[in-house]
Amino acid sequence: MDRLLNNPWIMKIIALLLALMLYLSVSIDNQDTNTILGTSKSSGTGTETITNVPVEVSYDQDNMIISGVPDTVNVTLEGSKSALQQEKLKQDLEVYVDLNNYGLGEHQVELQHRNISDRLDVKIDPQVVTVSIENQQSQEFPVEASFDKNQVKKGYKAGSAQISPETVTVTGAKSQLSQVAYVKALVELDNVSKDVNEQAEVVAFDKNLNKLDVSIEPEVVNVTIPIENRSKKVPISLEQTGTLGEGIEITGISLDRDEVTVIGEKDVLDSISSIDNIPVDVTGISKTSDIKVDVPVPEGVDSVQPKQVTVSVKVKKLDEEAEEETDAEETSVAEEEKDGKKSFESLSVTLNGQNSKYRYEILSPKNGVVGVDLLGPQQQLRNVTRSDISITANVARLTPGEFSVPISLTVPNGVEGTLSTKTLRVKVSEKNPSNEEEQNPSEPPEEGGNNNPDEPSDPSDNTGSNEEDEGNGDNGANDEENDSSSAN
């Protein structure tokens, strides 16, 4: 053992091993420390790209026109993550270029930045731009309205536009002003049929209709566009042409419309009142048919709407006429047996059982009249007159006040009747005998009342009503014509 320790090579090897262990120990400690503190280069740096950063330009805006400077750029930041995070929170990054000390002409100018931490590397894309500096000039240009004349309603026409003011001042570089070919007020039309009056934006274009980046004063103008009606409706008529075959007869010719619309200039339209004698060729027609017929365009007219009309031609064979008459007779008999409906309007309600001490006023229905619908065989309904219908209301038990009283309806046997209203509203009040005699000394008994005030009225006594109906009997025919009857 002593011999080994006294050997110089053994001691050198031991010393080397100890030195290597010490190095590894220190290296591992440093790596752990850097990891804990987050100071490793690979883990402590980063990049951040900010897009669409606006570029601020400083120059003599009253006398100079600048072109070539982009509106926005992209900025890439590189540095420690903590610095990047702080820059994100600040959000006050600025990119700018100062052209106040540059003369007229083109210049290569580097874009600058500010409000960024010195710990970050900054890259601007693009970094260098070519800037053109020119003297500012102004020039007046006339304005014309720009709109689609086809965007008006059919049958209408857009007239010449009126613009106020008629000229505008365009300001820009000399090279820009030399490119101005059109200055237009842009108006949007959408199937209009009335005059247009609106504020329109003014835009300058070059000869290829590319929009120019110039200043225009005023930016909007007032545009008035008159819209003229160029259409007129006129009646049309037909003229039958051609020859029908033997045994065929036309029973009717009809159009699907009575008028068409002609479109043209006003003086031409004023001279046209109708389109007559449109030919309808019936050659070869053997049955009822619909035919498409072209509408002729009068001279000087732009167009006619619609271009075609439909003509219905109804025909029949002569040998079928006798069969149709027989069928009509059989149909008539069958129709007689069918149920039908007949209506009467304004039939008076008779008040039965009136007391001479009371005054009776019908509040509803209005004027004390109702309507009646009758259902039954048509032949029987034709013979029913107003006098065959009895409409009454019994007021015998009523005392002063307002009451709802049911209405009774009596109709001929074999017929059913329905009232338009089933009750009436009546007001009963006491009479003043002295006043009645003074004011109405010769007043006849009220309608439907008894002549004997001491005797109660018989509800079945309709003499007064029937006499009135009989008195109207001479007008029965007229009443029947006014009644709405149907032969369903």
Q: Tokens 């048919």 sit at which residue?
A: 289
Which of 53-57, 106-110, 178-182, 225-229 has the weakest average pLDDT?
225-229
Secondary structure (3-state) at 154: coil
Do residues 73 and 95 lie in contact, with contact meaning Cβ atoms separated by under 8 Å? Answer: yes
Which of 315-324, 329-338, 383-392, 399-408 has the weakest average pLDDT?
329-338
Report the DSSP pairing between strands 144-146 and 121-125: unpaired
Which of 20-24, 78-82, 348-352, 461-465 has the weakest average pLDDT?
461-465
392 pLDDT band, cuts 50/70/90, is very high
pLDDT for res 330: 54
Rounded to the nearest integer, the mean pLDDT of the chain is 78
Which of 126-130, 342-346, 437-441 has the weakest average pLDDT?
437-441
247 pLDDT band, cuts 50/70/90, is confident
Which residue from 285, 151, 302 is spatially nearest to 230, judged by alpha carbons?
302
How many whole angstroms separate alpha carbon 80 and alpha carbon 120? 7
pLDDT for res 3: 64
pLDDT for res 82: 80
How many whole angstroms separate alpha carbon 393 and alpha carbon 405? 7
pLDDT at 102 over 90: no
What is the average per-residue pLDDT within 285-291? 83
pLDDT for res 235: 92
pLDDT (tens digit per residue) in 302-315: 888 888 999 888 88
pLDDT at 329 over 80: no
pLDDT for res 26: 64
In degrees and rounded to multiples of 5, residue 301 shows phi and psi of -90, 140
Which residue from 412, 423, 400, 444 is spatially nearest to 342, judged by alpha carbons?
412
pLDDT for res 337: 54
Structure tokens at 275: 């389109």
Which of 293-302, 310-319, 452-461 has the weakest average pLDDT?
452-461
What is the average per-residue pLDDT within 424-435? 80
More confident residue, 295 or 46: 295
- pTM (two decimals): 0.38
pLDDT for res 447: 42
pLDDT (tens digit per residue) in 145-180: 988 888 887 778 888 889 999 999 998 888 888 899
Which residue from 188, 192, 190, 171 is spatially nearest to 180, judged by alpha carbons?
171
Burial annotation 274-291 (CB, 10 A radius, 16+ → b, else e): ebeebebebeebeeeeee
Do residues 200 and 223 lie in contact, with contact meaning Cβ atoms separated by under 8 Å? Answer: yes
What is the average per-residue pLDDT within 124-141? 89
27 pLDDT band, cuts 50/70/90, is low
pLDDT > 70 fraction of the chain, expressed in percent and rounded:
79
What is the average per-residue pLDDT within 267-285? 86
Neighbour tally for 358: CB within 10 Å: 17
Q: Tokens 């014309």 sit at which residue?
A: 144
Please report, for residues 73, 138, 239, 267, 389, the alpha-carbon distance to residue 314 in angstroms, rounded to integers and kept in the order given: 80, 77, 15, 39, 45
pLDDT for res 336: 53
pLDDT > 90 fraction of the chain, expressed in percent and rounded:
20
More confident residue, 266 or 226: 226
pLDDT (tens digit per residue) in 250-271: 788 888 888 998 888 888 888 8
